[in-house]
Amino acid sequence: MIDAYFYGTSTRNSPEAPVPIINLVKKERRLGGAANVALNIKALGATPILCSIVGKDRNGTQLKSLLEKEALSTQGIVEDESRCTTVKTRVIGNNHHYLRIDEEETDLIPTDVENQLFATISSLVQTADVLIFQDYNKGVLSPNLIKSVTQLCNDSNVPIVVDPKHDQFFDYQNCTLFKPNRKEIIEAYQLKEEEDHDIQSLAQRLRKDLNAKNVMTTLSEEGVLIINDQEHHHLPAHPRNILDVSGAGDSVLSVAALCVALELPDPTIAGLANLAGGLVCEKIGVVPVDKAQLLDEAMKLEKV
């Protein structure tokens, strides 16, 4: 998807309605959604290949242009003439977020487009060290496509890392690492968020229900919990000057996926991912994790 921004200033309200008038100063368009995960992976030194859908429209053309500008491959991008390219437009005035406008279609993609996307993934997966499902509930990841791609990866010994959304939450069977947050686990089991819950027990239940190798649950200011069939590790969050949490989940996912590809132990996966999320929160806006800073901070912690 494209993340679009209208920046401006506001000094008065509209006479037409009780809303501010924004005097436009600057427009900006950036890669968003799964493409931000790709930017993180690239920043960490690996080579991402995006496989997804765009509309056959002007925004789709621009999205592919933005990918090419960032030296990201477009060979896995499939055009769907029946839908528009997702664009999220934010109106920001006086450093205040006033409004977001979403251009999107969230119905499941047609069967012929799904087949085309699966064929594209099939042609590329043999070169992959890890596959990431980054789910945004936009209609691309149907239960059938998830099952087919998972079987393909399992047959090819390609590990699978999942960042889920609620609609297909329990469709990600037989994955390597499943990365929900606390709220997503609680909602998945239809529990009340305001009540006290044993997240470790819920994560273990989820791991069994998904037949997943690992479940890594992000817990905001309480850090991260990673669990497998034999052990669990709870790593606390590091003290940070939190400025903006936008994009932190993408950085956590990217670092975790690369650690899985390298077959690193669970505490290292959770520790580095947790560290990356905290570092990104110290910066304004959606920015990729800084590889040099991540390594430096990890080395400091190693010496403590």
Active site residues: 250
How many residues belong to the chain? 304
Q: Determine the Cα–Cα distance for residues 296 and 290; give it in Å rounded to an integer.
A: 10
Q: Determine the Cα–Cα distance for residues 174 and 156; give it in Å rounded to an integer.
A: 13
Q: Residue 109 carries which DSSP code?
A: P
> What would the two tokens of residue 41 be?
């992976």
Beta bridge partners of 6: 27, 91
46 touches 258 (CB < 8 A): yes
Q: Determine the Cα–Cα distance for residues 191 and 206; give it in Å rounded to an integer.
A: 14
Integer angstrom CA distances of residue 14 from 19, 26, 99, 202: 6, 20, 15, 50
50 touches 71 (CB < 8 A): no
Q: Determine the Cα–Cα distance for residues 81 and 79; give it in Å rounded to an integer.
A: 6
Q: 33 in the Ramachandran plot: left (φ > 0), alpha (ψ -120 to 50) or beta?
A: left
- Which amino acid, one-letter code, is at 251? S
